[in-house]
Amino acid sequence: MDEKAPISNSMDDPRVLGVIPARSGSKRLRRKNICVLAGHPLIAYTIMAAQKAKKLTDFLVTSEDEETLKIAQEYGAPTPFVRPKELAGDEVRNIETVFHAMQFMENVKENHYDILVLLQPTSPIRDPKHIDEAIERLWNSEMQSAVSVKGPFKKRDPILKAIRSGIVEDYCPVEDGRNIEPFYLYNASIYAVKRDFFVRERKLVSEKQVPIVMDQLHSVDIDTEADLVMAEAYLKYLSNQ
């Protein structure tokens, strides 16, 4: 496969592949990608968001687990391959998973993508508009990647703390708390990257990134039972809006 992508047919219409990684292993929350959240398997929420996004050319679920793939298919997600076992271990990075999916799809389609989007199934409260925003803003930017963040966080007194030698201290001391700069945190929901940069650097995130700001409700990331409880409360709240 050519590693250098040809110029896209239309600068206004990039070819975009969305990748939903869903391996079966999970240390903190067993088989969390298919655990039930408000009546649906966790992965279903990301599949439904991808289906509604307007700027994804293609998307797929990649997993080595037959049950996960079957559930994905029941919700209408493409599952064009079974992920190789060697790409499903604890030490395998999402970079390798996305690269494998890209290679497979580009060989099938006999064409290159312009942008790759990683959609973690552990972020169930994701508006499809966030996906479209990431793609559009990245495509119209000179930067190589876009990431979703939550924030801004700004208090009179710095809220990031460190415990050093048993003492709570400011993580990053500032001279004047009244003029503290707000900060943002990755929420792990959306990573979008231009294909040429990804292939060349084997990175999903460039040094400078287009920010996709999401509120606290849409930034929940499932890692524990407590996260599930919080996500269910958020989903109930949003359904009543």
Average pLDDT over residues 134-157: 93
Quick one: pLDDT at residue 4? 40
pLDDT band at 90 (very low <50, low <70, confident <90, very high): confident
Question: Which stretch of DSSP H or E encloses residue 18?
Answer: strand 16-21
pLDDT band at 1 (very low <50, low <70, confident <90, very high): very low
- pLDDT at position 187 over 80: yes
| Three-class secondary structure of residue 36 per DSSP | strand
**Separation between Cα atoms, residue 97 and residue 191, nearest integer Å:** 13
Mean pLDDT of the chain: 91
Average pLDDT over residues 24-28: 72
Instruction: Please tell me what DSSP assigns to residue 34.
Output: G
**Separation between Cα atoms, residue 32 and residue 24, nearest integer Å:** 8
- pLDDT at position 6 over 50: no
Contact (Cβ atoms closer than 8 angstroms) between residue 238 and residue 217: yes
pLDDT band at 148 (very low <50, low <70, confident <90, very high): very high
Place of tokens 């966790």: 42
- Both tokens of 53, joined, read 């996004």
Q: Where are the domains of the chain?
A: 16-152+183-239
Average pLDDT over residues 184-206: 97
Give backbone dihedrals phi and psi of 42, rounded to 5 degrees, phi first: -50, -45
- CATH architecture of residue range(s) 16-152+183-239: Alpha-Beta Complex (3.90)
Cis before 152? omega within 30: yes
Quick one: pLDDT at residue 215? 94
Q: Give the residue from 204, 159, 164 showing the smallest Cα distance to 184.
A: 159
Amino acid residing at 241:
Q
- Both tokens of 5, joined, read 């992508």
- How many whole angstroms from its chain centre is CA 3? 24
**Separation between Cα atoms, residue 147 and residue 137, nearest integer Å:** 11
- pLDDT at position 11 over 60: no
- pLDDT at position 180 over 50: yes
